[in-house]
Structure 1
């Protein structure tokens, strides 16, 4: 039996799915999970276009959205702005 690797970007086809996916990744304490999720969303929307609109090189964006990278907040903000999503802060209470 052969299995193909799971690619989350194939299922991120609307804003609600993207928002829920990023929120779930952000809720996990592992920061690499959020970086990978942001990369999945960028891939789903077209990495070349996201990079162009965010003002970063495509290869640089691929490297930045790789788990383990030292992603800067500035890059996160640019990518999220292009994707049309935002981070919010809420009390746990």
Structure 2
């Protein structure tokens, strides 16, 4: 019997716009609850994604709730 091989899956591969990343942060905020380390990791990931898009990589806490980029 052959062994199944799976490719790497990263949901971030599907975040193509600033709006997608804002949605990612909103979902992370819902999942994080009271875990600041979870949100710190999500914000770091969002910053890297924004830089990949060529936009400023600052992620403010007010963006997490509203999804606004100013």
| TM-score, structure 1 normalization | 0.44
Structure 2: give runs of 5+ residues left out of the alignment.
Answer: none
Please provide the CA RMSD for this pair: 3.0
Structure 2 CA distance, aligned partners of 1:16 and 1:40? 15
Match of 1:33 in 2: 38
Greater alpha carbon shift after TM alignment, 14-23 vs 29-38: 29-38
**Ranges of 4+ aligned residues in structure 1 off by more than 6 Å:** none
Higher relative CO (Cα under 8 Å, sequence separation at least 6) belongs to 2
- Is the Cα–Cα contact under 8 Å of residues 47 and 59 in structure 2 kept in the other structure? no
- Is the Cα–Cα contact under 8 Å of residues 12 and 41 in structure 1 kept in the other structure? no
| Higher Rg of the two aligned structures | 2
Aligned residues: 59
